[in-house]
C-alpha cells in the first residue's frame, strides 16, 4: 500500500468521526420521519431508516448514514413513552481489486430535536443507530467503520428530563479502525435533569462515546440519586459552561473534558471521581464539591471560584496547582497528602479533617484573614514563611484530637495569629515552628520532632496547658510571661529572648534546660532536668531545679525575695554572678542538696527600702558543703549609712550588714569596725543627730533605711535647727519694743519743744537744766520757765522694724540665719512730777527668720510694757518691763521627702534698766550711760506635723526657758537746731554691747524613733558688738512732735539694721 492511499484513508476516518455528529445534527436524512407540530408523545416504538450499503468492486462506495429514529422540530414538548432507535449506518463496499475498502455509514440519532428550546421527557429507551462496517480490501487498507449515532441530539438548545436510558449507538465492526460509539446526549444550551432511573451512556464496541457532549452555550445538569452516566462528559469549546444543580448527593466518576467550565450551584454534594481534564475552570456557588470520594481517583485542573465548599477527598497523594478564590471554605479530607501550589485568595478558610495538606507559602491557604482549622489532620510546610492567620484546633476524629503542624527540615514556620480551640497541637518535622500569637487552645501540646518556639523575640507568643516534649521546646520573648503547664518527656527546654519566663508547673522532663538570654524563674519544679545558665541569662524563682551550672550567667533566687532549691550540685564560675536581694526581714537564698562551688563569682547585693537589722543574712546553704569563696561584692541601693561584707562557714555563705555615718572616704586611715559606727568627720549638729540614730539602731536592732542613708547634709536637715531661730528673733523684737518704749525722744521722755521769746525753747525734766542746754554758735541759753501743770499728759503712736544677719558656724554645723521684725505700738505718758515720768504702751507685730537651706519660721505677737524715768539733776535712771505673746510657725523640708511644720505659742518677759549723766557743752550735750537687759523666752513642748510626705523625719521638741543677758556702755551726743523756724533736736550715739548666754538650742526627738533624742544648736550671737544710733525730733506745733531713730549693731559674725518712729501729742 502506498503513502497516498494511507493518507486518504486517514482523512476519511477523521471526517467520519466528526461528521457522524454533524450529519445527525445538520444534514437532511435519507429517509426522514414526518415533522410534528406542537406537543407530541411517542407512544409506539420508533426506528430510523438504515443507511444503504455501499457497492463493491474496484471502486467501492461508502455506506449510507442512518436516519433519526424521531425528529421533533415544532414548538412544544415531546414525551418519549416508547423506544426510539436511530437507523444503522450502511456497510462500506468491499474493494475487490487493489484499492482500499469503502467506509461504513454513520449511525443515525435516536431522537433529534431541532426546535429552539425544545423540551423532551424521556420515559423509554432512546438509542442511537449503529455505525456501518468498513469495506474490506484484498491488498490495501480496509475501509473505516462508521461511528455510532447519538442517543438524543439538540441542534438549538433545549430542556430534557431523562427517566430511562439514553444510549449512543455502537460503532461499526470490521474495517481499518474500530470506530467510536455515539454520545448519549449531544447539544448546547441544555438543561438536563437525570431522574433516578436515568442511564445515559455512550456507545461502545470501539471506543466508548461520551455520555454527554455539550457543544456550547450555558448548560445545566441535575442528577438525581440512582441515575447513572457511562462515558465522559465533553464541554467542547471554552464558551461552554456546565452547571450541576442537583439537590441530592451524587458521585460522578466520569471524566469531564473539553475547554469549557463547570459550576456547582445545587445544594446536594457532588463527588467528582474522574480524572477530569476540562480547562475552563470551576465555580462552586452552592453545596459541597468533592474532588474524589476517599479513594485514589478524582481530579480537576484550572482555577476554582469557590463560594460554598470545595473538598479534596482522596486517600493517596495529589496536588492542585490552580488558583482558588471566592468566599467559600476549602476542606482537606482523606488519608492522603494534598499539595496546594496556587496563590489562592479565598476567604472562607481551610479545614483539614484528615490526611496532610502540604504548602510552601501562606498564600496557598487563601486570604490572610481566612482561618485555618485543623480537625484531626496535618499541615505540612516545605519552606520558611510567616503567617498571621488564625488557627483553630478542633477535637476531631482523625489521626489525633486537634492537629499536627509539620515543618520540614531547615525551615521555619512563624504563626503570629491566635491558635484556639479544644484540640491539641502536635509539632512534627525536623524544622522549627514559632508561635507568636496569644494562643488559647486547650488540648495540650506535643513536641515530637524539631523545635517548638514560643515567641519570636517580641512581646507576644503564649502556650497553655501541659506539654509532652520529646524534642526541643524554646521560649523567646522580650517581656515577662508565665507558663503554668507541666512539661514531660525526654526533650530539652531553651530560654531565649530578653524577657522573663516564669515556670509554675511541676515538670518531669529529663532533657537539659539552657538559659541563654533573659530570666528563667522556676516557681514550680524542673528537678529532673540539669540546668545551665550562660552569659546573658539569669536563673531565679522559688521552686526546685536540678543540678545547676552558672556558666557566665546570673543566679538570682526568688521572684523578689525568695529561696530557690537545687536538687543536686551547684557550681559558679568566675565570670558568673550571684544576685541577692535584701529586705529588712530576709534575703534571697539558695538551698543546695549537694555541694556548692562558689568559684570566685561576683555577689551583687541589692537592698530594698525598709528597716535594716545589723545581722547575718544566710544567702546560701549547701548540705554537701561549700567549696571556695565568692569574689567581688557589688552593692546596689545600699544606703550611704550602711556597710556590707561576706562571711562563710563550712555549709553556708553570709551577707553581713552594719550602720556607720562616717563619710566616705573616712577621715582617718583606719576604717571603723562595721559593728561600732563612730560617726567621724561630722559637725556638731550632724554628730548629735547621727549619734541619736546609731544609738537607736544599736538599741533596737533596726532603723528605717531613709535614716541610715542620710548624708552629712541630710543629717543637717533632719537635725531641725530652724526650731532654735525663734529664740534670737524674740530677743531682738523685745529689745526694739523696750527701746521704743523708753527712748522715743532723743533724751528720753519730756515735753514738746515750745516757742520762747528768744525763738527757741527746750523741754526739761527738772528745774536748773536750762543753763546746760547747748545753742548754735555760742548763743546764750534761753530762759526756762518750768510749769508743772504744762504738758502733763502725752499720747503717742509709732512703729519699729529691723533686719539681722548671723553667719554660719561650720564647726557647730549651724547655718547662716536672717531675721526680720516689725511692729506698731501706742502709749501714754504721765508726768508725775517735774523729775518723774511714767508710761505704758501696747503693740503688735510680726517676726520672720530663715535658716539658709534648712527651714524658716514666723510669728505674730502682742506686746505690752511700762516704764518709769527719774531725774536726779543732770543724771537719770530709766527702768522698763515688757511682756510678749507669740503665735509661732516653723516650716522645713527634709530631703524632698517631708515638709514639716511646727505650731506653738511662746511667752517672753523682758526688763531693762539704764542710768546716765548729761554734760552740757557750748554747742552740744554729751550723755554717757550704762544699761542692763534681760529677756526670758518660755518655749512649750510641741510636735511637728507633716504638710506633705509621710512625716518620717518629724521631730518633737521639749519645752524650755531661755534667758538672754545684755549690757551696754555708751555715749550719746545731742544738739539743737531750727528747721523752717521749727525747733529740731538731733542725737547720735555709740555703745559697746556685751551679750551673755549667747547660744540657742533645742532638745529634739524623732517621732518615728522613740528614744532617739539629741540637742541641736542654732546660730550664736557674738559676745561683743558695736551699737550705733542716730535720731531726730522735730516740733510740728505747740503740742505735736515727730521723732525718728536709726540704729545699727555690728559684730564679727553678725549685723543688724533697724529703725523706729513716733508721733507724740502732749497737753
pLDDT, position 3: 32
pLDDT, position 121: 97
**What is the rounded CA–CA span in Å between residue 62 and residue 147?**
13
pLDDT, position 140: 67
pLDDT, position 397: 56
Kindly indicate the confidence band of residue 380, based on its pLDDT and cuts at 50, 70 and 90.
Answer: very high
- Average pLDDT on 188-199 reads 94
Kindly indicate the confidence band of residue 75, based on its pLDDT and cuts at 50, 70 and 90.
Answer: confident
Task: Tell me: pLDDT of 1006 over 70.
Answer: yes
- Average pLDDT on 779-787 reads 39
pLDDT, position 178: 66
**What is the rounded CA–CA span in Å between residue 240 and residue 856?**
102
Kindly indicate the confidence band of residue 625, based on its pLDDT and cuts at 50, 70 and 90.
Answer: very high
Based on its alpha-carbon atoms, the radius of gyration of the chain, rounded to whole angstroms, reads 61
The three-class DSSP label of residue 1027 is strand
pLDDT, position 707: 87
- Average pLDDT on 324-344 reads 98
**What is the rounded CA–CA span in Å between residue 680 and residue 662?**
5
Question: Do residues 233 and 212 make contact, with C-beta atoms less than 8 angstroms apart?
Answer: yes
**What is the rounded CA–CA span in Å between residue 187 and residue 168?**
13
**What is the rounded CA–CA span in Å between residue 537 and residue 563?**
19
Question: Do residues 498 and 516 make contact, with C-beta atoms less than 8 angstroms apart?
Answer: no
Task: Tell me: pLDDT of 669 over 50.
Answer: no
pLDDT, position 678: 53
- Average pLDDT on 166-182 reads 81
Q: Which residues contact 471 (CB under 8 A, 6 or more apart)?
A: 427, 447, 448, 449, 450, 451, 452, 491
3-state helix, strand, coil in the chain (%, to 5): 10, 45, 45
1041 membership: H or E segment, kind and range: strand 1040-1050
- The DSSP code sequence of 544-563 is EEEEEEEEBSEEEEBSSS-E
**What is the rounded CA–CA span in Å between residue 522 and residue 485?**
12
Domains belonging to the chain, first-starting first, are 1-48+66-234 (no CATH), 530-659 (no CATH), 720-1066 (2.40.128.130)
Q: Is 649 exposed, middle or buried (0-12, 13-18, 19+ CB in 10 A)?
A: exposed
Q: Which residues contact 768 (CB under 8 A, 6 or more apart)?
A: 873
Per-residue pLDDT tens digits for 258-271: 999 999 999 999 99
The three-class DSSP label of residue 9 is helix
Most confident range (mean pLDDT) of 115-119, 207-211, 291-295 is 291-295
Per-residue pLDDT tens digits for 1036-1056: 988 999 999 999 999 999 999
pLDDT, position 138: 76
| pTM, to two decimals | 0.64
pLDDT, position 271: 97
* Residues 575, 579, 580: CA angle, nearest 5 degrees: 150
- Average pLDDT on 207-216 reads 92
- Average pLDDT on 597-608 reads 96
pLDDT, position 534: 98
Question: Do residues 388 and 417 make contact, with C-beta atoms less than 8 angstroms apart?
Answer: yes
- Average pLDDT on 336-344 reads 98
Kindly indicate the confidence band of residue 749, based on its pLDDT and cuts at 50, 70 and 90.
Answer: very low
Task: Tell me: pLDDT of 167 over 70.
Answer: yes
pLDDT, position 895: 76
The whole-chain average pLDDT of the chain stands at 88
Question: 897: left (phi > 0), else alpha (psi -120 to 50), else beta?
Answer: alpha
**What is the rounded CA–CA span in Å between residue 724 and residue 813?**
13
Phi, psi of 538 (to 5 degrees): -135, 135
Would the CA dihedral through 362, 366, 371, 375 be positive or negative? Answer: negative
Task: Tell me: pLDDT of 623 over 60.
Answer: yes
Question: Do residues 931 and 968 make contact, with C-beta atoms less than 8 angstroms apart?
Answer: yes
**What is the rounded CA–CA span in Å between residue 234 and residue 504?**
66
Reading the block at residue 548, the C-alpha cell is: 545547676
Of residues 999, 591, 980, the one with CA closest to residue 809: 999
Lowest mean pLDDT segment, chosen from 459-463, 669-673, 1055-1059: 669-673
Task: Tell me: pLDDT of 897 over 90.
Answer: no
CA 521 to chain centre: 21
Question: Do residues 995 and 1022 make contact, with C-beta atoms less than 8 angstroms apart?
Answer: yes
Kindly indicate the confidence band of residue 344, based on its pLDDT and cuts at 50, 70 and 90.
Answer: very high
Buried b (16+ CB within 10 A) or exposed e, 100-110: bbbbbbbbbbb
Per-residue pLDDT tens digits for 6-18: 223 332 333 333 3
Reading the block at residue 683, the C-alpha cell is: 559637725
pLDDT, position 234: 94
Amino acid at each position: 500500500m502506498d503513502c497516498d492511499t494511507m493518507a486518504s484513508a486517514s482523512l476519511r476516518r477523521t471526517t467520519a468521526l466528526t461528521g457522524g455528529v454533524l450529519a445527525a445534527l445538520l444534514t437532511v436524512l435519507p429517509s426522514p420521519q414526518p415533522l410534528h407540530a406542537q406537543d407530541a408523545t411517542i407512544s409506539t416504538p420508533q426506528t430510523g431508516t438504515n443507511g444503504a450499503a455501499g457497492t463493491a468492486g474496484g471502486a467501492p462506495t461508502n455506506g449510507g448514514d442512518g436516519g433519526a429514529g424521531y425528529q421533533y422540530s415544532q414548538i412544544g414538548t415531546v414525551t418519549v413513552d416508547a423506544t426510539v432507535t436511530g437507523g444503522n449506518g450502511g456497510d462500506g463496499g468491499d474493494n475487490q481489486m487493489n484499492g482500499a475498502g469503502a467506509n461504513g455509514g454513520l449511525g443515525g440519532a435516536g431522537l433529534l430535536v431541532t426546535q429552539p428550546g425544545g423540551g423532551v421527557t424521556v420515559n423509554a429507551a432512546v438509542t442511537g443507530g449503529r455505525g456501518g462496517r468498513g469495506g474490506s480490501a484484498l491488498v490495501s487498507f480496509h475501509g473505516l467503520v462508521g461511528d455510532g449515532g447519538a442517543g438524543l441530539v439538540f441542534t438549538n438548545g433545549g430542556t430534557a428530563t431523562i427517566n430511562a436510558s439514553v444510549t449512543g449507538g455502537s460503532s461499526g465492526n470490521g474495517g481499518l479502525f474500530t470506530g467510536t460509539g455515539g454520545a448519549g446526549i449531544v447539544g448546547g444550551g441544555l438543561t438536563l435533569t437525570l431522574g433516578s432511573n436515568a442511564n445515559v451512556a455512550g456507545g461502545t464496541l470501539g471506543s466508548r462515546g461520551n455520555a454527554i457532549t455539550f457543544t456550547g452555550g450555558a448548560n445545566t445538569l441535575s442528577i438525581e440519586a440512582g441515575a447513572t452516566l457511562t462515558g465522559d462528559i465533553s464541554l467542547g469549546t471554552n464558551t461552554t459552561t456546565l452547571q450541576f444543580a442537583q439537590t441530592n448527593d451524587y458521585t460522578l466518576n466520569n471524566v469531564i473534558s473539553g475547554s469549557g467550565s463547570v459550576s456547582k450551584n445545587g445544594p446536594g454534594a457532588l463527588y467528582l471521581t474522574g480524572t477530569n481534564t476540562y480547562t475552563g475552570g470551576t465555580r462552586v456557588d452552592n453545596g459541597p464539591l468533592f474532588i474524589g470520594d476517599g479513594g485514589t481517583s478524582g481530579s480537576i485542573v484550572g482555577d476554582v471560584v469557590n463560594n460554598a465548599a470545595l473538598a479534596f477527598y482522596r486517600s493517596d497523594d495529589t496536588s492542585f496547582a490552580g488558583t482558588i478564590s471566592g468566599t467559600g471554605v476549602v476542606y482537606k479530607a482523606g488519608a492522603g497528602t494534598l499539595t496546594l501550589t496556587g496563590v489562592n485568595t479565598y476567604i472562607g478558610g481551610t479545614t483539614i479533617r484528615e490526611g496532610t495538606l502540604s504548602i510552601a507559602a501562606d498564600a496557598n491557604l487563601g486570604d490572610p484573614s481566612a482561618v485555618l482549622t485543623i480537625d484531626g489532620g496535618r499541615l505540612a510546610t516545605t519552606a520558611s514563611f510567616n503567617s498571621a492567620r488564625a488557627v483553630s484546633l478542633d477535637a476531631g476524629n482523625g489521626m489525633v484530637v486537634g492537629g499536627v503542624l509539620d515543618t520540614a527540615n531547615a525551615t521555619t514556620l512563624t504563626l503570629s495569629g491566635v491558635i484556639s480551640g479544644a484540640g491539641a497541637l502536635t509539632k512534627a518535622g525536623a524544622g522549627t515552628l514559632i508561635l507568636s500569637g496569644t494562643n488559647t487552645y486547650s488540648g495540650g501540646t506535643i513536641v515530637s520532632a524539631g523545635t517548638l518556639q514560643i515567641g519570636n523575640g517580641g512581646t507576644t507568643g503564649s502556650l497553655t496547658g501541659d506539654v509532652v516534649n520529646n524534642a526541643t521546646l524554646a521560649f523567646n520573648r522580650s517581656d515577662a510571661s508565665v507558663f503554668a503547664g507541666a512539661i514531660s518527656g525526654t526533650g530539652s527546654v531553651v530560654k531565649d529572648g530578653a524577657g522573663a519566663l516564669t515556670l509554675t508547673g511541676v515538670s518531669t522532663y529529663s532533657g537539659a534546660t539552657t538559659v541563654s538570654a533573659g530570666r528563667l524563674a522556676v516557681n514550680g519544679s524542673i528537678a529532673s532536668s540539669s540546668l545551665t545558665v550562660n552569659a546573658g541569662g539569669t536563673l531565679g524563682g522559688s521552686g526546685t531545679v536540678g543540678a545547676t551550672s552558672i556558666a557566665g550567667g546570673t543566679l538570682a533566687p526568688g521572684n523578689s525575695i525568695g529561696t530557690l532549691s537545687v536538687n543536686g550540685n551547684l557550681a559558679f564560675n568566675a565570670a558568673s554572678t550571684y544576685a541577692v536581694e535584701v529586705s529588712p526581714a530576709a534575703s534571697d537564698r539558695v538551698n543546695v542538696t549537694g555541694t556548692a562551688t562558689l568559684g570566685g563569682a561576683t555577689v551583687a547585693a541589692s537592698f530594698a527600702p525598709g528597716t535594716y537589722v545589723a545581722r547575718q543574712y544566710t544567702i546560701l546553704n549547701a548540705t554537701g558543703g561549700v567549696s571556695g569563696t565568692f569574689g567581688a561584692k557589688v552593692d546596689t541601693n545600699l544606703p550611704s549609712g550602711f556597710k556590707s561584707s561576706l562571711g562563710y562557714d563550712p555549709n553556708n555563705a553570709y551577707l553581713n550588714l552594719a550602720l556607720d555615718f562616717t563619710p566616705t572616704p573616712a577621715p582617718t586611715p583606719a576604717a571603723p569596725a562595721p559593728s561600732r559606727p563612730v560617726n567621724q568627720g561630722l559637725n556638731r549638729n550632724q554628730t548629735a543627730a547621727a549619734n541619736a540614730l546609731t544609738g537607736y539602731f544599736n538599741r533596737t536592732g533596726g532603723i528605717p533605711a531613709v535614716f541610715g542613708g542620710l548624708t552629712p547634709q541630710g543629717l543637717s536637715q533632719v537635725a531641725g535647727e530652724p526650731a532654735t531661730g525663734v529664740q534670737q528673733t524674740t530677743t531682738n523684737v523685745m529689745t526694739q519694743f523696750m527701746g521704743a518704749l523708753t527712748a522715743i525722744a532723743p533724751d528720753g521722755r519730756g515735753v514738746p519743744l515750745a516757742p520762747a521769746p528768744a525763738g527757741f525753747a527746750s523741754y526739761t525734766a527738772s528745774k536748773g537744766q536750762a543753763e546746760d542746754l547747748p545753742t548754735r554758735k555760742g548763743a546764750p541759753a534761753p530762759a526756762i520757765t518750768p510749769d508743772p501743770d504744762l504738758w502733763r499728759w502725752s499720747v503717742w503712736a509709732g512703729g519699729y522694724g529691723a533686719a539681722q544677719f548671723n553667719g554660719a558656724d561650720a564647726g557647730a554645723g549651724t547655718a547662716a540665719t536672717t531675721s526680720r521684725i516689725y511692729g506698731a505700738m501706742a502709749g501714754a505718758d504721765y508726768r508725775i512730777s517735774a523729775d518723774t515720768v511714767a508710761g505704758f504702751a501696747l503693740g503688735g507685730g510680726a517676726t520672720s527668720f530663715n535658716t539658709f537651706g534648712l527651714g524658716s519660721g514666723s510669728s505674730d505677737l502682742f506686746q505690752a510694757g511700762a516704764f518709769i524715768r527719774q531725774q536726779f539733776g543732770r543724771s537719770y535712771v530709766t527702768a522698763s518691763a515688757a511682756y510678749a505673746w507669740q503665735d509661732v510657725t516653723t516650716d522645713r523640708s527634709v530631703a524632698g521627702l517631708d515638709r514639716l511644720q511646727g505650731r506653738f505659742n511662746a511667752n517672753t518677759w523682758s526688763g531693762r534698766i539704764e542710768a546716765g549723766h548729761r554734760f552740757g557743752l557750748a554747742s552740744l550735750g554729751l550723755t554717757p550711760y550704762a544699761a542692763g537687759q534681760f529677756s526670758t523666752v518660755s518655749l512649750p513642748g510641741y510636735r511637728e506635723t507633716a504638710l506633705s510626705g509621710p512625716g518620717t523625719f518629724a521631730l518633737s521638741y521639749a519645752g524650755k526657758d531661755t534667758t538672754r543677758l545684755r549690757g551696754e556702755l555708751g555715749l550719746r551726743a545731742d544738739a539743737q537746731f531750727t528747721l523752717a523756724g521749727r525747733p529740731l533736736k538731733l542725737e547720735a550715739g555709740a555703745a559697746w554691747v556685751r551679750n551673755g548666754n549667747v547660744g540657742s538650742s533645742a532638745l529634739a526627738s524623732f517621732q518615728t524613733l522613740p528614744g532617739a533624742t539629741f540637742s541641736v544648736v542654732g546660730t550664736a550671737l557674738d559676745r561683743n558688738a558695736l551699737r550705733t544710733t542716730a535720731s531726730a525730733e522735730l516740733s510740728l506745733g505747740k503740742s505735736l512732735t515727730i521723732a525718728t531713730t536709726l540704729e545699727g549693731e555690728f559684730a564679727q559674725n553678725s549685723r543688724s539694721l533697724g529703725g523706729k518712729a513716733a508721733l507724740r501729742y502732749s497737753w
